[in-house]
Structure 1
Amino acid sequence: MQTLNLVDNQAFQFNAFKVYDSPDHEKSNRKLALMEQLQTSLELDRLLNIFAMEAAKYVDFSGLYFKKGDISASIRGSRQGKNERLFELKLNQKFVGILTYAINSPISLTNYKILNELHQYLIHPLNNALQYQQALQLAMQDGLTSLNNRRCFDEQLKRAMHNANRQSSKVGLIVCDLDKFKLINDSYGHNIGDEVLIQFSQALKESVRDSDSLFRFGGDEFSIIVENATFESLIVIEQRIYSAMTRDALLSKYQVSCSLGHTFMNRMDTQTSFFKRADKSLYQRKIFKDRKLSLV
């Protein structure tokens, strides 16, 4: 059973001096300590864990979750409870996110009021953490296509290679670029060139699994990290890319084609050697394609 409650701090009048003036000094000191601890991190999981230690004094819950859009966080060891209690958090009428308690027993009216008061201490740190996360996402994102950028690629490739070594799994890397993209820009202008890049990135999105990661390095250079990969999975992705391009009206109109190269990580690879081998595969395919065209 889920119950949604609205928490808006617009009418919340916090005064730090009132904390010290409160007759219940122990309670006041705990609230002040909570405020101070919540200012020490911009990590959502960390904030929830700090908050949960205080909330647990008033609520019997086995899990605490926060979600806004595709951003989510939870406390350590969260698990399902008998019921769920949802709180919609707002800051000056602006939606901050949904805080969900997996509760094991009903919340008393007294503790419910205390919980709502505690939420007021959480809203600002949560909002700051969200803005920080969104800024990080923008720093890792290509402005034109909304794909991940080269900086993000370097970090995710390092993580994927580490996981593959630890789990004895395979990670594949596909690199691709558009054939004669400069000619498209020169012939039709950069506005059309940008549209081609956007539509090509859409074709890539349609061709990969949710677990695969897409990147644009800049210009017409793209890459795909495929975790838990097989030779067949890489071939399927490549075939899907070619198929998606033929279905796209704009790419077909300007006769856009692409070249793809792929490889698998081996245990001796560094990030540089892994990428260079994939890039070499792309280069070899482009040469082969050009030779075929010259013979036609």
Structure 2
Amino acid sequence: MDNVHILTYDHSQIGSEAAKAAYFYRKDSALNTTALTQQLQRSLDLVTLLDTFAQFIAPYAKFSGLQLHSSLGVNEMTKTHSANVANRFDIEVEGEHLGQLVYLSNVAFTNKLSAQLKQWHKILAYPLRNALTYNRVLRLATRDPLTGLNNRSDFNVNMDKKLEACRRKHRPFSLMLLDLDHFKQVNDNFGHQAGDETLQEFAAILRICLRGTDTAFRFGGDEFAVLIDDKQFETNVVIAKRIINAVKNSAIMSQYGVTCSIGFTLARAKDTNMELFERADKALYQAKFNGRDSYQGALLETLSVRDLNTHKDSQKPVKNAKIS
């Protein structure tokens, strides 16, 4: 595939802010489309594809972020920053609409730049379709079919990755375990359809209460977990309170008399999977022991577990209890 030569503007002729944001930079420059094609064929990871494509075209267009909006949600290149204008381009392959590429810029792109980008998008389209297909299949294999949350197998993979990052890059994270109180009585008294409705409602609550950097998992039955990408132990408290309050305010959960117990802990670099899980599980057990409808944090200091305002009665503050 031949290189594509680009019509460029002389810097001395650029007077408006729009031109500064959307002109081609260099005279007599050419995008090496052969190298771009080869690089794009090396990965099925959507973020990697966006990073690769952005790196190749960055010398020719000024933008602060590149996003892909598709049926899998929003993926974006690394270090994307917000901007005033979203320049949108539909991406299609053989009549199949893959989604939209969105360039974040201070001003709208010029017609000449937009026309050139559309030509380069043809190079990206086929690797993008392959990556989307692969990720859809992968999602089916790693998702719980009832709730749509990630499953236990995916949890194990993500836990390993986060522990490795914790050891090598000193990036602490938290593990939160959640269990629905009185869930068995829902199936016994109202039937399994009501039980499924309760689980789906709780999954929806988790999606609302968690941040974009956190990931929720369903292990099976009424057992759930969340990996929280945050080094602050107090963040767990904020999220736990949010979840418990949302459960209390849910008409479905209240109808069936279901509440939630939560245990959490912060990961250490020396932790194994088993040690981290056991510490969070111990905190969850203590929350159950305290009367359910509460949360408990397992600290990393000399005290193995410390009660952090258990929330048994939202009208009455509960004193911290030290548990050895």
Structure with the bigger RCO (C-alpha within 8 Å, sep 6+) is: 1
Q: Which runs of 5+ in 1 are unaligned?
A: 3-29, 291-296
Is residue 2:75 matched to residue 1:43? no
- Matched AA of 1:134: R
- Matched AA of 2:131: A
Q: Which residue of 2 aligns with 1:122?
A: 124
Contact 1:87/1:99 (8 A) holds in 2? yes
Structure 1 residue 177: Cα displacement: 1.1
Q: Distance in 2 between matches of 1:80 and 1:254?
A: 43
Q: Deviations over 1:192-225 (max 9, x none)?
A: 0001111122223333333322111111001122
Alignment of 1:52-71 (within 5 A): 60-62=60-62, 65-69=66-70, 70-71=73-74
Q: Distance in 2 between matches of 1:73 and 1:247?
A: 34
Q: Distance in 1 between matches of 2:173 and 2:282?
A: 17
Larger CA deviation: 263-272 vs 246-255: 263-272
Question: CA RMSD for the aligned pairs?
Answer: 3.9
Q: Distance in 2 between matches of 1:114 and 1:288?
A: 64
CA 1:246–1:127 in 2, change beyond 3 Å: closer, same or farther? same
Contact 2:67/2:103 (8 A) holds in 1? no
Query: TM-score scaled by structure 2?
Result: 0.64
Match of 1:281 among 270, 280, 283: 283
Q: Which residue of 1 aligns with 2:274?
A: 272
Larger CA deviation: 88-97 vs 149-158: 88-97
Q: Which residue of 2 aligns with 1:72?
A: 75
Structure 1 residue 117: Cα displacement: 4.7
CA 1:121–1:205 in 2, change beyond 3 Å: closer, same or farther? closer
Structure 1 residue 252: Cα displacement: 0.6
SS at match of 1:95: strand
Contact 1:86/1:100 (8 A) holds in 2? yes
Q: Which residue of 2 aligns with 1:232?
A: 234
Larger CA deviation: 166-175 vs 243-252: 166-175
CA 1:164–1:185 in 2, change beyond 3 Å: closer, same or farther? same
Q: Distance in 2 between matches of 1:270 and 1:35?
A: 41
Is residue 2:275 matched to residue 1:241? no
Q: Which residue of 1 aligns with 2:143?
A: 141
Q: Deviations over 1:15-49 (max 9, x none)?
A: xxxxxxxxxxxxxxx87887666545423455456
Q: Deviations over 1:99-146 (max 9, x none)?
A: 456899x9896x987764554343222212111122223322222112
CA 1:157–1:85 in 2, change beyond 3 Å: closer, same or farther? same
SS at match of 2:268: coil
SS at match of 2:148: coil
Q: Distance in 1 between matches of 2:133 and 2:253?
A: 36
Q: Which runs of 5+ in 2 are unaligned?
A: 1-17, 20-31, 293-324
Structure 1 residue 248: Cα displacement: 0.6
Q: Which residue of 2 aligns with 1:14?
A: none
Q: Distance in 2 between matches of 1:61 and 1:173?
A: 42
Alignment of 1:177-256 (within 5 A): 177-256=179-258
SS at match of 1:259: strand
Structure 1 residue 159: Cα displacement: 3.0
CA 1:166–1:228 in 2, change beyond 3 Å: closer, same or farther? farther
Structure 1 vs Structure 2: percent identity of aligned residues? 35
Contact 1:85/1:102 (8 A) holds in 2? yes
Q: How many residues align?
A: 259
- Matched AA of 2:66: Y
CA 1:263–1:132 in 2, change beyond 3 Å: closer, same or farther? same
